[in-house]
Amino acid sequence: MEKITSLAKRRGFVYPSSEIYGGLAGVYDYGHYGVLLKENIKSEWWKSMVQLRDDVYGLDSAIFMHPQTWVASGHVGGFNDPQVDCRNCKSRYRADHILEGFGIPADKMPLDFLNTELDKLRAEKKLVCAKCGSADITPAKSFSMMVTSNLGSPVDSLTEENVMYLRPETCGGIYLEYKNTLDSLHPKLPFGIAQVGKAFRNEIAARQYIFRTREFEQMEMQYFHNPTQTKELYEMWKEVRWQWFLSLGIPAEKIRWYKHEKLAHYASDAYDIEYAYAFFGGSFKEVEGIHARGDWDLTQHAKFSGVSLDYFDEETKIRFVPHIMETSVGLGRLFLMFLDNAYTEVGEGDNTRVFLKFPPKLAPIKCAVFPLLKNKPELVAKAREVFALLRKDFMCEFDDNGNVGKRYRRQDEIGTPFCVTIDFDTLGETPALKDTVTIRDRDTGEQQRMSISELTNYIRSVIL
Ligand code: ATP
């Protein structure tokens, strides 16, 4: 954990938010390389979910939504997590997470159950604060995860009916734009709507770096379909999402399916994809949920808005409320997964080489360009020329600081797959090698010579 968080900060991937003011728990900022990595993950998701499909449309809905949205969805009444406090040091914990730490399945279990199990641990003197060791722990109580705002009204006039929430998940916007999508784009079932955006949750214990934050990005797709097709479509989406992880270099043995035994009353199936984070000592944790949600969402919104959200099937002449299945993944959790999977150390002691073995598609910088020596203007000018050529097509970096070995180390730590060096042969010292450069591979450290005119096609062939 320490190795990854310190590299991510030192190399400009992730910073604690508001650090000069002492930080803000559960909130993080992404630096230059972090933004680039995040954008690459998003665009791979978008490509697979929208660009390469005929049946999924894009959306960017607002973070603020009509307050009734969250009453209809059940969030206002029931989006709670069970909280316990340490009376001694005031630390807060998720009661279900404490129980799960003792091997007791507690996800989404009622408070009564949690308190009975906590009492058993208390009686065995096993219930103690992880921070200060005190056994003075409160019973579990419900804590709303909804983040409120004062948008549009003075704070003191806020009531349960007019409070404006910051959305706790992006799919709420998708349900509300189902009708506009249907009326404007006229898709036939089954079809999906995908969006990427911020969500906010008042997490009780956001102490897991970017894995669990209070402000985070989600990438969600809701697939509207005829319920007769739920089974086959569910298998299709499970397979699509599983393959996406593999296609980006995640080894099959590091991911697994987790089947939810306790389903929401409207759901017919719910699986998560879990990844074994070395960051968390190798334990499997949820990255993505793939859930068959029945007709709950559209039925609720039709009921609360008074607007019909039926679908009329022209062929069968049957009118019905489409069922929904969703794929929902957190960008921060994916970011941490790719960082975790890429982190590589070879060699020992002072000879340890650290590099981030990102699949080239995801690497923040595709190619770094160096002049062999900084104080030879002809080398620098030629290197600038090559840099200007490559950056038109790829995110590239020019570096003439320190010696070449140091520059390689820096690029290794940000995961750059290729480093191109301009040397005296490039300038024609060996006439046969004029206008050729060395290109070094991040993973093997091996170099090959290649003509400048071949570089763009070569790099493109590897990163696509
Ligand atoms: P958990 O059980 O870990 O709290 P969840 O089951 O509540 O997660 P969902 O509501 O299904 O999560 O959200 C879908 C996805 O959004 C999750 O699989 C995860 O990738 C991401 N996600 C949810 N909450 C957070 C958070 N606080 N920080 C970062 N990502 C999150």
Ligand 1 atom nearest to CA at 285: 3
Domain boundary among 144, 169, 188: 144
Both 43 and 84 in one domain: the answer is no
Domain boundary among 118, 144, 170: 144
- Owning domain of residue 111: 80-144
Is 25 within 8 Å of 206 (Cβ atoms)? yes
Cβ of 201 less than 6 Å from ligand 1: yes
Cβ of 419 less than 6 Å from ligand 1: no
Q: How many residues does this entry show for the chain?
A: 464
Nearest-CA residue for ligand 1 atom 1 is: 286
Compute how many other C-beta atoms are within 10 angstroms of the C-beta atom of residue 289: 18
pLDDT band for position 161 (cuts 50, 70, 90): low
Per residue in 213-272, pLDDT (tens digit) is 999 999 999 999 999 999 999 999 999 999 999 999 999 999 999 999 888 888 889 999
Is the pLDDT reported for residue 292 higher than 90? yes
What pLDDT is attached to residue 158? Answer: 62
The CATH number covering residue 126 comes to 3.30.1600
Per residue in 326-376, pLDDT (tens digit) is 999 999 999 999 999 999 999 988 889 999 999 999 999 999 999 999 999
Which one of 273, 286, 334 would you pick to mutate in the ligand 1 pocket, going by the greatest count of ligand atoms within 8 A of its CB? 286
Tell me the range of 76-90, 145-159, 306-320 where mean pLDDT is highest. 306-320
How close is the Cα of 318 to the center of ligand 1, in Å? 36
Q: Is residue 348 part of a domain?
A: no
Both 305 and 166 in one domain: the answer is yes
Both 336 and 399 in one domain: the answer is no
Both 107 and 60 in one domain: the answer is no
Both 259 and 322 in one domain: the answer is yes
Mean pLDDT within 24-28: 95
Nearest-CA residue for ligand 1 atom 26 is: 212
CA dihedral 170, 172, 177, 182 (to 10 degrees): 100
Both 446 and 326 in one domain: the answer is no
The CATH number covering residue 225 comes to 3.30.930.10
Cβ of 329 less than 6 Å from ligand 1: yes
Both 191 and 283 in one domain: the answer is yes
Share above pLDDT 70 across residues of the chain, in percent, rounded to a whole number: 98
Cβ of 326 less than 6 Å from ligand 1: no
pLDDT band for position 155 (cuts 50, 70, 90): low
Both 118 and 60 in one domain: the answer is no
Tell me the range of 124-133, 145-154, 167-176 where mean pLDDT is highest. 167-176
What pLDDT is attached to residue 157? Answer: 64
pLDDT band for position 153 (cuts 50, 70, 90): low
Both 218 and 164 in one domain: the answer is yes
Ligand 1 atom nearest to CA at 291: 11
What pLDDT is attached to residue 316? Answer: 93
Both 320 and 200 in one domain: the answer is yes
What pLDDT is attached to residue 154? Answer: 62
What pLDDT is attached to residue 156? Answer: 63
Cβ of 95 less than 6 Å from ligand 1: no
Both 205 and 228 in one domain: the answer is yes
What pLDDT is attached to residue 175? Answer: 98
Domain boundary among 119, 144, 169: 144
The pLDDT mean for the chain works out to: 94
How close is the Cα of 328 to the center of ligand 1, in Å? 8
Both 126 and 165 in one domain: the answer is no
